[in-house]
Amino acid sequence: MVPYGTPQIVHFGEDDKKGYTLVQLIETSNIVCHFVEEHNDMHLDVFSCKDFNPYTVESTVRQHFYPSEIQTQTLLR
């Protein structure tokens, strides 16, 4: 996945939805991630018109964020 431009990172929201949101355009679509501060959760969406291995995404998340639990859902379009 090749990034297109620089990522946008914004801190916003209120109460239990407050946190950082990251948007990175990639040549084949986008990656969006929201970090919910109150619950220490991360919601990640990797969307690409090009095939990719979802296990590579999960492995990368584990390597950089050390989650205690991961729930995944893969949609083929």
Q: Where do the domains of the chain lie?
A: 8-65
pLDDT digits (tens, 9 = 90+) for 2-13: 999 999 999 998
pLDDT at res. 17: 82
pLDDT at res. 60: 97
pLDDT at 62 over 90: yes
User: How many CA atoms does the CB half-sphere of 62 hold within 13 Å?
Assistant: 10
pLDDT digits (tens, 9 = 90+) for 11-57: 998 888 899 999 999 999 999 999 999 989 999 999 999 999 999 99
Strands (E), the chain: 8-12, 19-26, 29-36, 41-48
pTM for this prediction:
0.88
The SS3 call for residue 17 is: helix
